[in-house]
Amino acid sequence: MSGFGNEFSSEDPRCPGALPEGQNSPQVCPYGLYAEQLSGSAFTCPRPANKRSWLYRILPSVKHKPFIAAPCGDLTENWNEVEPDPNQLRWLPFSIPTPTKKKVDFATGLHTICGAGDAKSRNGIGVHIYTCNASMVDMCFNNSDGDFLIVPQQGEILITTEFGKMLVEPNEICVIQQGMRFSVDVFGATRGYILEVYGAHFELPDLGPIGGNGLANPRDFQCPVAWYEDRHVAAGYTIINKYQGKLFACQQDFSPFNVVAWHGNYTPYKYNLTNFMVINCVAFDHADPSIFTVLTAKSTRPGVAIADFVIFPPRWGVADRTFRPPYYHRNCMSEFMGLIKGHYEAKEEGFQPGGASLHSIMTPHGPDVDCFEKNSRAELKPERVAEGTMAFMFESSFSMAVTKWGLQTCQTLDKNYYQCWEDLCSHFDPSWKPSKQ
């Protein structure tokens, strides 16, 4: 079903009429189902911000054994493991475990790179990598701390949710919102990025003078249709719950994907980045990267985001009298970048698909030497930019700390990253005179 934040309703076609008529919680639901509400906002939020869905399920989610602590692996919310590092950081592609050595599913293949804030106070973010080679079997994940924005980079993932199924491929993204249970099937070596946001939900950015159309259009977002399984699991079905930065597990004897019908506006959803309608300069100078924002999670300060998800898609470059690649920059925001495919225009070498970079608050960054020299002398004519490429950025107002896994354990940190600027030389000419034209 299409649309962003719409009021949807869906029934598994095997059970027509499963949605109650005219009310949410009848004394007896059709087919003997249980009614259960999933709230994504406070009950008293203004109507435009109120998020909730009603699920009609074979058994309610409350029927489970007690949660017990589970190993967290490399998933963490400890931002003080190592000393702060203000340097420009770049990672080579994160390695994917081989199945002959160890089978790793989505839940056990989560690794936290950096983040800030606190899930308890509902204010913060986490940036994770997932690397896996096996599907989750009789197991699902539930994030009580916040929303997961998932960016596949290698390998498609089939996500089963309480709302239905979504197949998400590289160059697509999906959002699993807080509290939604999901399981991930993979089909080989699989890798991707995750932006986790505590205390806010992603929304479409305001368009202002752009008007009513452009960037990520609401009609291009998709959410799944109802699908259920009535499956008894005698050996036990495991629910993994991320709660206050830790993992917990409980057992139940049935599949949690037993929702026969549902309605509401709080759903998982996916989006194909190819559908992004690019807005760009058509005269001169370089617009800020905010024109490439797909989704934003707003803070309480107007215009300042907890996190923005920004992409750099294929587009035309036509700006005259202009250095067209990204300019040199020091930012009051943190910039974490990843590459899904291709070659990023400002650093065609070194920044690789499946790798990443982090330019922390006020850490200078910009084009490497080759990019600067080439584009300072280039003939300015209309040209395709980033053809066959898709880079993205998680930009945040938080000053993010890097984990021990990100700095040491992963062993993919590129310690020579700084050298891409070492050969920048001075072009200053004190005898220069302006043209008389």
Section 168-173 average pLDDT: 98
Statement to judge: residues 239 and 281 lie in one domain = no
Same domain? For 251 and 321 the reply is no
Question: Which pLDDT score, from 0 to 100, does residue 343 have?
Answer: 86
Strands in 390-396's sheet, in edge-to-edge order, are 89-91, 356-359, 334-341, 390-396, 305-312, 293-298
Q: What is the pLDDT of residues 23-82, one digit of tens each?
A: 999 999 999 999 999 999 999 999 999 999 999 999 999 999 999 999 999 999 999 999
Percent of the chain topping pLDDT 90:
94
Last residue of a domain, one of 223, 242, 273: 273
Q: Residue ranges for the binding site for Fe cation?
A: 329, 335, 365
pLDDT tier, 101 (very low <50, low <70, confident <90, very high otherwise): confident
Dist CA 287 CA 378 (whole Å): 19
Asked whether residue 247 is domain-assigned, the answer is yes
The binding site comprises: 329, 335, 344, 365
Tell me: pLDDT of 289 over 80.
Answer: yes
Q: How far is 213 from 222, CA to CA, in rounded Å? A: 18
Look at residue 117 and tell me if it is in a domain.
Answer: yes
pLDDT of residue 437: 58
Q: Residue 330: what pLDDT?
A: 95
Residue 99 pLDDT grade (very low, low, confident, very high; cuts 50, 70, 90): confident
Structure tokens at 59: 């058994």
- Split at pLDDT 50, 70, 90, the class of 100 is confident
Is 433 within the bounds of a domain? Answer: no
Residue 423 lies inside a defined structural domain of this protein:
no
Residue 92, domain member (yes or no): yes
pLDDT exceeds 70 at position 348 = no
User: Of 245, 273, 301, which closes a domain?
Assistant: 273
Name, in order, each residue with C-beta under 8 angstroms of 351's C-beta and a sequence gap of 6 or more: 90, 337, 339, 343, 344, 357, 391
Question: Does pLDDT of 307 surpass 70?
Answer: yes
Question: With 80 as the cut, is the pLDDT of residue 346 above it?
Answer: no
Is residue 88 located within the same domain as residue 190? yes
In a domain, 282, yes or no: yes
**Does 10 reside within a domain?**
no
Same-domain check for residues 225 and 282: no
What are residue 417's phi and psi, to 5 degrees? -55, -40
First and final CA of the chain: distance in angstroms? 59
| Backbone angles phi and psi of 385, in degrees to 5 | -110, 135
Domain boundary among the residues 213, 238, 273 is at 273
DSSP-derived secondary structure for 50-61: --EEEEEESS-T
Main-chain dihedrals φ then ψ at residue 404, nearest 5 degrees: -65, -35
Strand partners, 116: 125
Binding-site residues for homogentisate, in ranges, read 344, 365
Give me 175's structure tokens: 């959002």
Number of compact structural domains in the chain? 2
Could you tell me if 335 and 289 are in contact, meaning their C-beta atoms sit under 8 angstroms apart? no
* Same-domain check for residues 115 and 179: yes
Structure token pair of residue 185: 């099937």
pLDDT of residue 350: 74
- Asked whether residue 186 falls in the same domain as residue 148, the answer is yes
Confidence of residue 248 (pLDDT cuts 50, 70, 90): very high
Asked if 106 and 170 sit in the same domain, the reply is: yes
User: How many degrees, rounded to 5, is the angle at CA 238 between CA 234 and CA 241?
Assistant: 160
User: H helices then E strands: how many in the chain?
Assistant: 2, 27
Do 201 and 304 sit in the same domain of this protein?
A: no
Same domain, 208 and 319: no
CB atoms within 10 A of CB 355: 19
User: What is the Cβ-side half-sphere exposure of residue 330, based on CA atoms within 13 angstroms?
Assistant: 5
Look up the CATH number of the domain holding residue 298: 2.60.120.10
Q: What DSSP line would sit under 333-389, residue for residue?
A: SEEEEEEEES--TT-TTT--TT-EEEE-TT--B---HHHHHHHHH-----EEESTT-
106 and 249 within one domain: yes
Same domain as 293, residue 159: no
Spatial neighbors of 430 by CB under 8 A, at least 6 apart, are none
- 12 occurs within a structural domain: no
Rounded distance between C-alpha atoms, residue 85 and residue 98, angstroms: 31
Q: Confidence class of residue 286 from pLDDT cuts 50, 70 and 90?
A: confident
By annotation, the residues acting in catalysis are 286
**116 and 199 co-located in one domain:** yes
- Domain hosting 377: range is 277-412
Q: How far is it, in rounded angstroms, from Cα 103 to Cα 97?
A: 8
Closest CA to 157 of 180, 117, 186: 186
